[in-house]
Amino acid sequence: MMRDHRVRILSNAPETLTYWRLRVRLSETIAIRPGQFVMARTREQWEPIWRRALVIYRAEEHAEGMDLEFLYKVLGRGTALLSRQRPGDELEMLGPLGNGFPHDADPDAEALLISGGIGLPALYLLAEALARDGRAVRLFHGEPTVEPERPLPFLDDFARVLEPEAITLATEDGSRGFPGLVTEAVEAYLERTRPGRAVLYACGPTPMLRRVAEIAAQRRLPAYVSLEARMACGFGVCLGCAVKTQFASEHMPHYRRVCAEGPIFRAEEVIWDEL
């Protein structure tokens, strides 16, 4: 159930030049759907006033409750403050929030998970759930660049639930893996294998999601995208996170809330020109 969980930090450290990994302990277990998020703040946080949205990357139950993991990128004040918290410090996390990915959308289809940059953490629990169900799952992950001598440790997390060869890393500058955009890697794969049935699940920057939507439309494949928006509350009351979609919710001809009806939408519902 959604609650304001007071959690204790187990670890919080940079994992690459860009990404931090945060591990926290809950004193209870909660049911989490892949792609759900929390709204987090530090204890006695006065500034910035809003909490920050973080998708639940991994979750592990144990005797004392549950450990949650997050991956994040230090962008501005909120994430900078988070990065200064240490093991033992407490955080307040509202959640789990949002709708989550429908991982039983098409049980026989191959699942193509597509992420750009910090979009990746939205996909781990989905990969795990799909793999547990014995589904064919592939991960395509894109980065602008990857320093050759520095591995991306979080890809190893995926390698433990997926076949290693089911993971494709794409770099825009060709420094590692597929040279080009992650969506080009996906297209190349679809071109090569022409899967009869496939479902696309994507999280990443808007231009990438838009391209995923185009690819899915061209090939008539279902696609689910996880959108971002500025969020004041995260639980549906400020109406600040509205995005325009083809379908209505609660008497609204167009607008739906990323935090409540989302963050995951069918790609064809999204009106990309109005994002």
Ligand X SMILES: Cc1cc2nc3c(=O)[nH]c(=O)nc-3n(C[C@H](O)[C@H](O)[C@H](O)COP(=O)(O)OP(=O)(O)OC[C@H]3O[C@@H](n4cnc5c(N)ncnc54)[C@H](O)[C@@H]3O)c2cc1C
Please report, as ranges, the residues that interact with another protein according to CB under 8 A.
1-2, 4, 41, 46-51, 94, 229-230, 232-233, 235-244, 250-255, 274-275
Q: Which is nearer to a second copy, 86 or 192 (CB)?
A: 86
- The set of residues, in sequence order, having a beta carbon less than 8 Å from that of 14 and lying 6+ positions away, is 20, 83
Q: Is the dihedral of CA 212, 236, 6, 229 positive or negative?
A: positive
Report the C-alpha gap between 211 and 187 in whole angstroms.
Answer: 10
Name the token pair of 107: 């049980």
Q: Which is nearer to a second copy, 14 or 144 (CB)?
A: 14
Q: Which of 62, 86, 192, 251 binds a second copy (CB under 8 A)?
A: 86
Q: Which is nearer to ligand FES, 62 or 251 (CB)?
A: 251
Q: Which residues is 9 bridged to in the sheet?
A: 24
Report the C-alpha gap between 165 and 228 in whole angstroms.
Answer: 30
Residue found under tokens 């093991």:
87
Q: Which is nearer to ligand FES, 13 or 275 (CB)?
A: 275
- The beta strands (E) that lie in the chain are given as 3-14, 19-26, 37-42, 52-55, 58-62, 65-73, 90-97, 110-116, 137-143, 167-171, 178-179, 198-203, 223-226, 242-244, 255-257, 264-266
Q: Which is nearer to another protein, 51 or 135 (CB)?
A: 51
72 lines the binding site for ligand X (CB under 6 A): yes
Q: Which of 1, 17, 47, 251 binds a second copy (CB under 8 A)?
A: 47
34 lines the binding site for ligand FES (CB under 6 A): no
Residues 236-275 contacting ligand FES, CB under 6 A: 236-241, 257-260
41 lines the binding site for ligand FES (CB under 6 A): no
Q: Residue 46 binds which one of ligand X, a second copy, ligand FES, none, with CB within 5 to 8 A depending on kind?
A: a second copy
Report the C-alpha gap between 50 and 164 in whole angstroms.
Answer: 39
Contact positions vs a second copy (CB under 8 A): 44, 46-48, 77, 80, 84, 86, 89
